[in-house]
Structure 1
Amino acid sequence: MSDLSPQDRRDIELLWEFHLLDSGEVTADLLLVLGSHDLRVAEHAAGLYLDRAAPLAVVTGGAGKVTGGQWQETEAVRYARTMRARGVPADRVLLEENSTNTGDNFDYSRKLVAEHGLSPASGIIVCKPYMARRALATAAVRWPELHWSARPPLGTAWAYPSAETPLDRMINLMVGDLQRLRLYAVRGFQSPVEIPEPVWQAYERLAAGGFDQFVIRD
């Protein structure tokens, strides 16, 4: 996008840096791989499995707000296929195909793990970089008995966009997720997250400037 102002660019970087959390080279009992339109998350999850970050991957995702109108298969199925193609054994992957939002990802995956007789104590969330903070806040409420870490693919706000994740969509998603950090805590969907005032002001400017595709309006 060539029409971004210098203020827009600063605001985008603020949101990116706030959303992005990485726990470093930790290990856990399972990977919880949050499905979306971005297959780089599946590729990254495969790398973490092969690096022995966890012995099991739970891949979760039905039809999301982006993929629901694009894919003829669930996010979980496409992610799992991507991971198998990179060397993850099929019997080390559990699929959860019914979730349509982040809360569902945790609720349904928690049920799936219990149905398999597993009792993990820790998990690593693998998700889009700009989803990490909200995913951890959601985990704290929806699956609180596990110790959670986050290991998203890393990069900068300007290097991360791709043909599948164009910059415009990424900005809209970051803006929507920033709003949800505050709104969903009030609704009890996730734990409270302190949002610094400069970050909230950046959100407000970007939303007012038209990056409001995923802003909740009720």
Structure 2
Amino acid sequence: MADDARTITQKQWRQAELIWEYHRMHHGVRTCDVAIALGCNDIGVAAHAAELYDAGLFPALVFTGGNSPSTAQVFPRGEAVHFRERALELGVPDPVILVEPEASNTGQNITFSRRVLAANGIVPATVLLVCMPYMERRAFATARKLWPEVGVVCASAPLSLGDYVKEIGDAGLVIDMMVGDLQRVMEYPKLGFAIDQDVPGAVRDAYESLVTSGFDSRLIQG
């Protein structure tokens, strides 16, 4: 696999696949009281949320997200606004959708969405988190920390790493993002942002190897 700037070796690809599978929670998707679709640079999240609505899995849907340095050019009016528009194009009824346009990180996605739901008289017992495939574990750990009283189910497009890279068009960027998310899974519990998640030794080894190989553009510094 290669992108415009880097060639990914077979070993690196296997390491990336290991991390990809770790990030995915492999939850059995089920009916929930609400869905929250987390803003990001992948409009496919909105499309998958629309598919899940069509399947009858929830009656209300929150799109959450403002802008970040990586999404401002792609979604100039904010992630949640663009995601809502895509869902409407795909047939989700407007009254079903709530928009939370301010969040700039995953913790705010959860906290601000909870606030929007409460303002609309919705206090869910179960929440379906819809996000990018490699964001599932971090989203789960964050929600369990900040909203422990709700049952959390994670959902993302059922794609292999290879298929996802084809959609995004940049293998190096996807690996960088996965590595960055894994660092956050490991480090954020120490900061009180998320619950602890067990990280198998093989996954840690893959992470360290990929960081050493230069897949580090999305790491938190300091």
**TM-score, structure 2 as length reference:** 0.94
Cα shift at 1:163: 5.5
Correspondence 1:216 to 2:186: no
What stretches of structure 1 move > 3 A for 4+ residues in a row? 162-165
Correspondence 1:30 to 2:38: no
Counterpart among 16, 22, 30 of residue 18 in structure 1: 22
Distance verdict in 2 for CA 1:165–1:93, change over 3 Å:
farther
Correspondence 1:153 to 2:157: yes
Q: Unaligned 5+ residue runs, structure 2? A: none
Give the corresponding residue for 2:194. 190
Contact 1:34-1:61 within 8 A present in 2 as well: yes
Correspondence 1:141 to 2:173: no
Question: 1:53-202, aligned counterparts within 5 Å?
Answer: 53-162=57-166, 164=168, 166-202=170-206
| RMSD after superposition | 1.3
Cα shift at 1:53: 0.4
Distance verdict in 2 for CA 1:186–1:207, change over 3 Å:
same
- Give 3-state SS (helix, strand or coil) of 1:58's partner: strand
**Equivalent-residue separation in structure 2 for 1:165 and 1:56 (angstroms):** 32
Contact 1:22-1:152 within 8 A present in 2 as well: no
Between the two proteins, what is the percent identity of the paired residues? 37
Contact 2:16-2:175 within 8 A present in 1 as well: yes
Q: Unaligned 5+ residue runs, structure 1? A: none
Contact 1:28-1:124 within 8 A present in 2 as well: yes
Give the corresponding residue for 1:43. 47
Stretch deviating more after TM superposition (123-132 or 59-68): 59-68
**Equivalent-residue separation in structure 2 for 1:173 and 1:152 (angstroms):** 16
Letter of the 2:88 counterpart: R
Cα shift at 1:65: 4.1
Contact 1:37-1:164 within 8 A present in 2 as well: no
**Equivalent-residue separation in structure 1 for 2:23 and 2:181 (angstroms):** 8
**Equivalent-residue separation in structure 1 for 2:184 and 2:64 (angstroms):** 20
- Give 3-state SS (helix, strand or coil) of 1:212's partner: coil
Contact 2:8-2:172 within 8 A present in 1 as well: no
Cα shift at 1:169: 1.3
**Equivalent-residue separation in structure 2 for 1:105 and 1:165 (angstroms):** 26
**Equivalent-residue separation in structure 2 for 1:173 and 1:157 (angstroms):** 12
Q: Deviations over 1:151-204 (max 9, x none)?
A: 111111111114645211111110000000011011110000010111011111
